Amino acid sequence: MEQARDEARGLTERILQARDAYYGRDAEVVDDATYDGWMHRLEAIERLFPELQGQDSPTLSVGAAQTTQFAPVAHAERMLSLDNVFSLDELREWCVKAQDGAGRAVRWLTELKIDGLAISLRYENGVLASAATRGDGRIGEDITFNAVHVAGIPQRLTGTGHPPLVEVRAEVFIPVRAFTELNALQADMRDRAVEESRARSRVFDEARARVSAERRFPALANPRNAASGGLRQQLDKKEGLEYVAGKARLDSLRLFVHGIGAWEHPPVDSQSEIYGLLSEWGLPTSPYFRTTDSIDGVREFVEYYGAHRHDVEHELDGIVVKVDELALHDELGATSRAPRWAIAYKYPPEQVNTKLLDIVVSVGRTGRATPFAVMAPARVAGSVVRQATLHNQDVVRAKGVLIGDTVVVRKAGDVIPEVLGPVVELRDGTEREFVMPAECPECGWPLAPAKEGDIDLRCPNTRACPAQVRGRVEHIGSRGALDIEALGEVTAAALTQPLNPVVPPLETEAGLFELTLDQLVPIEVVVRDSETGAPRVDEKTGERVLRAPFRRNPTAAEKKQGLTAPQPSAQAITLIDELEKAKTKELWRFLVALNIRHVGPVAARALAQWFGSVEAIRAASREELAAVEGVGDIIAGALIDWFEVDWHREILERWQAAGAQLTATGHA
């Protein structure tokens, strides 16, 4: 029992961390297969020991919290996720189980699982009332403003017989061909940005201009992320080249509807008939679906598109198998996160060979030291891969890879790059073994496990390690935290790890809301290559290329007025302005911004609503914290531990002294 408890607690921690990264920071830190494996294992433990399923168990929720500045929208009917299977044997077992649950022969509907963004369209008497992301299944983000511009989303349904209320489930995606065109446009925008800089600069530095352009218009990683970003952007706040690029991304979006949510009395009996009705109303349904009366028919559909997955207009995330009869949907029911009448089959990822050039170690905001594979560029599943996480030294050892190897690479879940192992027969004797450093590559402190038995090594210099401070500051600006657009990865690095001044403006995040323009103007950073991360060198002088992101030279008119000193750049002014505005944001956002382990948007909202202030949370006992719905014992323990640290309390004191309002609206 104790062994099961420890394993369940460890799995819960890893899953919550992955969810926090993915939904709070748009960072994919673990591949789909690994994440699904954790979930399946945790579900198995909780089936054997139901008493271990706490309120914070990720098996009880969908997990995608509403995280951005978009207004929250409540779904009339829960918008669930799907459980996954990864082999034909598992798929057959699921079909047999569903058929047994139905108690009679089942007609199946099979369709392609589009690799895009799930949304819900709410129509009232045939008129579009709102469009929302899935969110946590109950509350999503209002994206109506952008959705009305997506091809295939009618503002008024055609035909007749529209119910007073219907929620339509859909997937927004970017076609593969359009994605290629978007990346070509991004490259064009980079060139145009450089030329704009050349035209308005007396002393033009092409290297710096190119770096700035690459930051403004980066290559898009994959169609799914591009679709999500296109639908969730604030286009009305963009101008110039940014507007052109953003508008192009929005215009490239397409969607297929694939089901209904709320609809009290649908006039049809099957999912396939629903598709026909939705099509009559002017909503686009996928042409790639089929119904069959046999499990063998399901298998044939899966095998066919496994061989023809690149023949369709969009990227696939697998195959969805549904029970076609609507009455059986109610009979089979659902868990707290997924229906029992549908399943997703995931195809094995594509694999390619490439050269492992190096293994470097990076330190994240939690202090974990993570080896990364640096590889020769290779195209895998539609995008170019150059790096992949190797997780820890034990994983490197288990994979048996040497620096200089030819390695097999895939995208797990067709998204996350993963090194599978070496092609041993191609070794020529020049390869060398990776040695995990004993000291933090960022601050020099000895690396060590956080607790006995841990595999991961961490830098214990939590307060002052520059990499950890940089990561925490970047997290504060992320959409799931304070949502400060000007405080991204590059700005966080400039504030915490500048070349000049020697003492950075931010030695910890405590000083964030105390920043002034005078502190920003002197900052200089080393310009790095966007692909390799290596410092760029001036070809003429051999010196490193430096950039002053928060400084501009006075104009001729200003010089005539006697203003000869460097002036704050627009970026500096924007950052200070956005920090000032952030001081009055919701309490739950501040709770996420504090970098408390496991406290993501869902738990933060619950805590803010229940306690009303940071001080009340700090004064609560572990039992009181754990009793809050969506919190549980693990998160409660993390909160208690966080408040016990002196420099954590200093963050709160200095933020409040600088004007940050750490009280929920309506609480004294």
The four Cα atoms 475, 476, 477, 483 give a dihedral, to 10 degrees, of 110
Nearest in space to 370 (alpha carbons), one of 27, 57, 642: 27
Closest alpha carbon to 23 in 133, 135, 120: 135
Structure tokens at 88: 């034909």
Q: Which of 113, 322, 399, 411 is catalytic?
A: 113
- Cβ within 8 Å of residue 347, ≥6 positions away: 306, 309, 316, 318, 319, 414
| Secondary structure of residue 439 in the 3-state scheme | strand
Within 8 A by CB and 6+ apart from 515, the residues are 495, 505, 506, 575, 576, 579
Side chain identity, residue 400: G
- The verdict on whether 346 is a catalytic residue reads no
Give the DSSP letter string of 337-396. Answer: SSBSSEEEEPPPPPEEEEEEEEEEEEE-TT-BEEEEEEEEEEEETTEEEEEEE--SHHHH
- Cβ neighbors of 406 (< 8 A, separation 6 or more) are 353, 354, 355, 356, 422, 423, 426
Listed residue (621, 603, 637) closest to 58, CA to CA: 603
Give which of 602, 608, 610, 609 is closest to 630, Cα–Cα: 602
The 10 Å Cβ neighbour count of residue 240 is: 12
Half-sphere exposure of 128 (CA within 13 A, CB side): 24
Return the amino acid letter for 382: G
Task: Count other Cβ atoms within 10 Å, centred on residue 433.
Answer: 10
User: For tokens 């929250």, what's the residue?
Assistant: 72
CA–CA distance, 140 with 224 (Å, rounded to integer): 18
- The total of other beta-carbon atoms located within 10 Å of residue 239's CB is 10
Which residues are identified as catalytic? Answer: 113
